Amino acid sequence: MTVRTGIGYDCHRFAKRRKLILGGIEIDHKYGLEGHSDADVLTHAIIDALLGGAALGDIGQHFPDTDPRYKDADSLLLLEEVVKMLFSKGFTINNIDCTIVLEQPKLSPYREKIVGCLAAKLEMDVNCVSVKATTAEGMGFIGREEGIGALALATICSDS
């Protein structure tokens, strides 16, 4: 069995009149995130981690922001596509570990729902998906509450 690891990162600035979606869950906040799709930074980071682990490029190669098909796209549907892609190449997803970096809103009331949603789309047990949150301690664009960032680590396996 071959074990591979991929890392993903994404960030988006806040935008008025948009919903804040993280891990497929709508979060109550005065701002959403700016982006071509739904700007779900957490799901985008996971997608990049999975693609990276399988050496299949990145989210921009598969779902370019220049393609009108992905305008306001639900990132969970993009994640489903990537999961199918990995399965078709003989990979299984072993573990996902994520960190969301933001000052506000607090994510603890949503964490369980986010994990459940992501685990279902990844076809994994909830005990294999970790979602953590931290702040930037007031530093940088995240600390100034201009946006949100997310990092993800994916461990995938194949028989070859």
- Domain housing 97: 2-158
Task: Specify the pTM.
Answer: 0.96
Are 15 and 32 contacting, i.e. CB atoms less than 8 angstroms apart?
A: yes
Strand, coil or helix: 140: helix
Question: What pLDDT does residue 68 have?
Answer: 86
Helix runs in the chain, H state only: 41-53, 59-62, 75-88, 111-122, 140-143
Mean pLDDT, contiguous 10-residue spans, the chain (160 residues): 96 96 97 95 98 96 90 94 97 98 96 98 98 96 97 93
The CATH number given to whatever domain includes residue 13 is 3.30.1330.50
Number of domains in the chain: 1
Question: What pLDDT does residue 7 have?
Answer: 98
Question: What pLDDT does residue 72 have?
Answer: 84
Question: What pLDDT does residue 135 have?
Answer: 96
- What's the Cα-to-Cα distance from 46 to each of 15, 41, 43, 137, 160, rounded to whole Å? 22, 9, 5, 24, 23
